[in-house]
Amino acid sequence: MTPVEIPVEKWSGAVREVTLGSSYGGGTRGSTVSVGGETALPFLGFEGAMPHRPAIAVEVQDMHPADWSAELQAAWGDAMDDAATWAQKAVEAGADLIALKLRSCHPDQGDGSCEDAVRTVERVLAAVPVPLIVYGPGSADKDNEVLVAVAEKTKGEQLALGLCEDKNYRTIVAAALGNGHAVIAQTPIDVNLAKQLNILISDMGLPLERVLMDPNTGALGYGLEYTYSVMERLRLAALMGDSMTQQPMICTAGEEAWRQKEGRAEGDVPEAWGALAERGVAWEISTATTLLESGADILVLRHPASVSAMRDALDDLTKGA
């Protein structure tokens, strides 16, 4: 038998390395998380390096998310009433980072003040040693207000601030620039738009080593294939040396998966769907695994069981790499 030669692809480009969290210069983190740096497609150790294992963030909100699936409410229980407690439980569950969403500041969700937001961030920072991702409430003007306040009060912590979008990025980027933070640039599932926002952010002078990109994610059954191909194209472009696509990717797999009816519907569904208890988590894991394979560097998850399942998956995938 003739031995089969496995073709090995050599790439000229590499993904940029981005580090979140800092323990000096104002930073108080016990651990930091670095992502990116790949010189090959995900988990293809024989073609190139994947110096950092993809990280897992757990989403925590600053108010009890009553609209979340009953499954998630049951999993986190009372911890959901307090962001700091929730974050602690998330770290216990295996989170490498906390993704804190300042939802209560949204004009439709109580219009909480910047002071409250800053206080919440500070309490979470005090409660856990891991780095923080901080999302604004998701309303452009309020995002700008809140994230600027947070950025200033947490100078040096090297947070990731989100979301920057093409219509609203200047204020957030400026806040990150002046206070040593990173940003998350989100664009709607398109290679060119992702690239364009990276260019705009970089034009403001923020080093690209402080930019994560969120290519926007669809859940399993809700456009995941499209997301997959866009992420793969972004990663291929990065490896081929296209500088403005070389940002590590962050994917909100949990939010997408749990938003779908498969993660929430109970009772009136076909028997073949199985019990919600397993279905929701399975949906999140399937979504997250696919995204890992297409190049995700940070997965933002919601269910503790998904977190441990994805940690196992990563152990397997990186074995021997």
Partner 1 sequence: MSDTSTTKPRTAMASITFTPSGETIEVPKGTSLLDAAIFCELDVPAPCAGQGRCGRCRVRVASGEVERRSNAGMTTDEILEGWAVACQTYAGEGAIEIDVPERKKEKVRPHGHAIAEPESLPITCDYLQNPAVRTFSLAIDPPTLEDQTSDFDRLCRALTQQHGIEGVRAELPMLRRLGKDLRMANWKVSVTLEMRDWVYGSYLPPRLIRIYPDAFPHASMGLAVDLGTTSVVAYLVDFHTGRVVDSASAYNKQIACGDDVISRIIYAKREKGLERLHKLAVETINDLLEELQVRNGIELYEIHEITVAGNTTMTHLLLGVDPRFLREAPYIPTLSAAPKLVAGELGLSANMLARVHILPSVGSYVGGDITAGVISSGMYATDKLTLFIDIGTNGEMVLGNKEWLLSCACSAGPAFEGGGVRHGMRASPGAIEDVFIDDATLEPTFRTIDNAPAVGICGSGLIDLLGELFLTGIVDKSGHIDRNAPTQRVRVFDGVPEYVVCWAGEGGAQKDITLTESDVTGLLRAKAAIYAGFEVLCASVGVDLADVEQIFIGGAFGQYLNVEKAIRIGLLPDQPVERFHFLGNTSALGAFAALLCVSARLEVNDVASKMTYLELSADNTFMDEYTSALFLPHTDLIGFPSVSAALAARGSGNGNGG
How big is the CA angle at 174 (ends 146 and 299), to the nearest 5 degrees? 70
SS3 category, 223:
coil
Stretch that binds partner 1, among 58-66, 69-77, 78-86, 202-210 (CB under 8 A): 202-210
Stretch that binds partner 1, among 73-81, 193-201, 215-223, 289-297 (CB under 8 A): 193-201
If DSSP states are collapsed to H, E and C, what string results for 132-147? EEEECCCCHHHHHHHH
Q: Does 177 bind partner 1 (CB under 8 A)?
A: yes
CA–CA separation, 101 vs 136, rounded Å? Answer: 6
Say whether the peptide bond before residue 193 is cis (omega within 30 degrees of 0).
no
SS3 category, 244:
helix
Stretch that binds partner 1, among 49-57, 142-150, 204-212, 217-225 (CB under 8 A): 204-212
Q: How far is the CB of 205 from partner 1 (least distance, A)?
A: 3
In the block, tokens 């940003």 appear at 183
At position 123, the amino acid (one-letter code) is R
**99 and 57 in contact (C-beta within 8 Å)?**
yes
Nearer to partner 1, 63 or 244 (CB): 244
Question: Which residues in the 114-133 window bind partner 1 by CB under 8 A?
Answer: none
Q: How far is the CB of 97 from partner 1 (least distance, A)?
A: 27
DSSP state of 167: T
Question: Which residues in the 237-276 window bind partner 1 by CB under 8 A?
Answer: 244
Nearer to partner 1, 175 or 299 (CB): 175
When binding is defined by CB under 8 A, the residue of 49, 199, 240, 269 that contacts partner 1 is 199
Q: Does 232 bind partner 1 (CB under 8 A)?
A: no
Binding site for partner 1 (CB under 8 A): 166-167, 173-174, 177, 190-193, 195-197, 199-200, 203-206, 244
